[in-house]
Chain A
Amino acid sequence: MPNSRRQFLGAGLSAAVAGSAISCGAGPGGHHGASPWRFFTAEEGRTVDAICEQIVPADRDPGAKEARAVNYIDIQLTRAFKRYRKAYREGIAAVDAASRKKFGRRFAELPAGRQTEVLTDIEKSSAAFFELILAHTRQGFYGDPRHGGNRNRVSWKMIGVPFPPIRGREHYDQPKVG
């Protein structure tokens, strides 16, 4: 499953359970530099934003960039997704490395067509990271705006889900209790 944080009990890994031990500590990111993000460095943020937009591109409706899926992921990496910090740090580096190797530039600097090529490779070569960011991008695009993505409910408008949440069509028609 893409969302798994299963912790395999390999040799040498202590079986003692401590929830906090699972998330890795702050990597090279954290809050340093001029990053607008909570977890990502500015460069990482650009890369993730570009990956998200590849996964849900703008067409006649807004894509993941406008929905701020990257903001959703960045926020969650300080909360429910702390356990995926290492995977993101390494996964983003792998995407930029693959991009540099193939086209000589960072992923975010490539034209869309070339980004698609790189990401198609990544889907196979870094499958675990790809599954993670695929699921998270979908959540950030289609999920509830309260979590930092789906800005202005763009995806809900796209598919036509009524908003604000109606309180049940028959709520006011039912006889009162008692």
Chain B
Amino acid sequence: MALKHVNALIVGAGAGGGVVAKELATAGLSVVLLERGNWYSAADCRKDDLRNQRTTVLGNAFGPDEDRNPRVLVDDRGESIVWPSESGYSNNAACVGGGTFSYGAQAWRYVEKDFRMRSTYGVVAGSTLEDWPIGYSDLEPYYEKAEGELGVSGDVSNNIFQAHRNQGLPMPPLSPNKEYQILLPAAKRLGWHPFDLPMLRNSVPYNGRCACMRCRWCVGFACEVNARTGTHNTVIPAALATGNCEVRTASMTREILLDDRGQASGVAYFDGNDRFQRQTADLVIVSCGAVESARLLLNTRHRLFPNGLGNRYDWVGRNLHAHTYPAATGLFDYDTYDDIGPGASIAICDFNHGNPGLAGGGMLANEFIRLPYQFMNQVPPWVPRWGRTHKDFVRTAYKRTVTIMGPVQEMPMFDARVEVDPKVKDYWGIPVARLSGKKHPHTLEIARFVAGKAETWLQEAGAVQTWRRMPGPSLSGGQHQAGTCRMGNDPKTSVVDADCRLHDVDNVYVIDASVHVTNGGFNPALTIFANAYRSAHHLLEAWKGSKVRS
């Protein structure tokens, strides 16, 4: 039986798709939101330190399904099949809420220069560094809307590097933990500008949900009291409440359906019972995350688009990047661990831009609260990896360390890319994503500089020993994946226009971090939300003008 035609079909119920669903449904459009994963709740916290979305040694907690979703990775070691819980897969959760269901929930606005990287720093050899076709001022009202509708806590008033904002944050910061109290005076002594981390986490009751209870099971887990904010507990329920939106979970989209003229007419997908379905729609919005959005476009073939939809000039899947995370850990001669989550609490933006000889930088903040097994990654390189000394170090240092890290803005690379593999298929017989490429050497240079600042901060704070953890040169993806459907004014060097509509087809939009030209030196969630609000606004303007209705 044919499914009822709808106005808008959104693929992916993550950060971008959730916001778009709410905006379109509120405006009166009929909406179907397809999500390949499940809808989890606060009851799915489970507190399993070996099986969650951050520590995946026994699998991912929130998808995608481990045995159904391989990818192909091409790197120095060759070409191989990788699975969702493995490094190299570049996983982001597959569930209602997407990454926002189990993320750390930092709520950053990018700054003006983040949208004008090419104008600010010029050409970086070997990188496709470019300006966005929009600027901070285009996003500012939507940042404000995202902060208010979803709910952000923190106090950024001491951040002298932030871009202009019309309002403060709607909720106060959480009370400071011990690391905050140690790091605050040290940053001030260094002449830096520390402030309370902005977070999509209720510090007071907000929008009908309670405040954070400061537990240990935060990043990677479902929030047990529903105080952490994602699209699953804000905009998606709001979309459903309009009566105009239907969410279909466990639904794996195969391709976008195109008519003879090359206009989208809907999507083909497999439902939760593996039945093949066609859902027709006036509009298709692709919001699957940078890897899967590119894969879906590339798997959509047509006489007019033999190399994939939107891929006339070979830009779909290019410029896959995320963030490079340098870190430094300091050992103190007293207990720094206070068992109060979420842990991450204090940040500086002194090194996002204006670093001599470097094209950018990154924000620095203390790391989230750690569980015992996670501490294995923080043991310094000079401690033997096994035997008495290692155990003794863990026993002595577990409660006496502080880690500072930050998302360094990456130089996008044309050859860091998503393709569809010619041979390997997933459980449903759909060609899988094939990832290849590396980080730009300048990204690693910036990371070294930023790691040095993290180490300086810890030394000033009184650490008796400090050490760095530097990322390798392999491809970045994961939760912060971005860049594969670049936004731009020139169809020859981008995939979507400034409204996030495909250059090729006027009723298909890509609305997620795929469109980010560059990814800021910040966690990207709030920017994805803001751009989704902005794009939805422009989409609705076009819709009302009947420009897209078939």
Chain A interface residues toward B at CB < 8 A: 1, 3-10, 15-17, 19-20, 54-57, 59, 61, 63, 76, 79-80, 116, 119, 134-135, 137-139, 142-144, 146-147, 155-156, 158-162, 165-171, 174-178
Contact = CB atoms under 8 A, between A and B. Distances in A.
Contacts of A168: 212-215, 225, 341
Interface in B381-429: 385-388, 390-392, 394-395, 398-399, 421, 423-426
B216 interface: yes
A160 B398 contact: yes
Given A54-B386, A55-B386, A4 B392 contact: no
Contacts of B394: 142, 159
Contact of A142 (B82, B216, B372): B372
A166 B215 contact: yes
B294 interface: no
Contact of A19 (B59, B68, B210, B373): B68
Contact of B213 (A63, A79, A167, A177): A167
A5 to B, nearest CB: 7
Interface string B42-67: 00000111110000011100000011
B209 interface: yes
Contacts of B77: 6, 8
Contact of A170 (B48, B59, B214, B388): B214
Nearest to B87: A1
B83 interface: yes
A16 B399 CA distance: 47
A114 B386 CA distance: 15
A144 B387 contact: no
A160 to B, nearest CB: 6
A158 B395 contact: yes
Given A143-B373, A160-B399, A171-B225, A134 B50 contact: no
A6 B75 CA distance: 12
Interface SS of chain A: loop
A144 B81 contact: no
Contacts of B339: 161-162, 166, 169
B373 A142 contact: yes
Contacts of B68: 19
Contacts of A57: 387-388, 391
B505 interface: no
A55 B57 contact: no
13 contacts: A7-B80, A9-B79, A55-B387, A57-B388, A63-B391, A76-B58, A134-B386, A139-B373, A159-B394, A165-B216, A166-B215, A170-B213, A174-B211
Contacts of A56: 386, 390-391
Contacts, number: 152
B376 interface: yes
A6 to B, nearest CB: 4
Contacts of B475: none
Interface of B: 47-51, 57-59, 66-68, 70, 72-73, 77-83, 86-88, 204-205, 208-217, 224-225, 339-341, 372-373, 375-376, 385-388, 390-392, 394-395, 398-399, 421, 423-426, 432
B58 A59 contact: no
Nearest to A165: B47
A95 to B, nearest CB: 14
Given A55-B387, A144-B50, A156 B395 contact: no
Contact of A6 (B80, B204, B387): B80
Given A160-B398, A174-B205, 5 more contacts: A63-B391, A80-B57, A135-B57, A144-B50, A162-B339
Contacts of B66: 19
Contacts of A9: 72, 78-81
Contacts of A135: 57
A20 to B, nearest CB: 8
Nearest to A175: B205
B50 A139 contact: yes
A170 B425 CA distance: 48
A9 B81 CA distance: 7
A178 B208 contact: yes
Nearest to B70: A17
B391 A59 contact: yes
A57 B437 CA distance: 41
B78 A8 contact: yes
A76 B67 CA distance: 16
Nearest to B339: A162
Nearest to B372: A142
Nearest to A153: B372
B50 A147 contact: yes
A160 B66 CA distance: 34
A168 B212 CA distance: 8
A20 B67 CA distance: 8
Contacts of B424: 15-17
B214 A159 contact: no
Contacts of B49: 143-144
Contacts of A171: 213-215, 225
A174 B86 contact: no
Nearest to A159: B398
Contacts of B50: 139, 143-144, 147
Contacts of B421: 15
Most chain A CB inside 10 Å of its own CB: which residue of B57, B66, B82: B57
A159 B395 contact: yes
A20 B427 CA distance: 12
Contact of A169 (B72, B88, B214, B390): B214
B329 to A, nearest CB: 16
A22 to B, nearest CB: 8
A140 B66 CA distance: 21
Nearest to B341: A168
Given A138-B373, A168-B215, A116 B210 contact: no
Contacts of B212: 168, 170
Nearest to B340: A169
A6 B385 contact: no
Given A80-B58, A143-B49, A168-B215, A59 B388 contact: yes
A144 B49 CA distance: 6
Contacts of A158: 395
Contacts of A19: 66-68
A166 B339 CA distance: 10
A159 B423 CA distance: 49
A12 B136 CA distance: 52
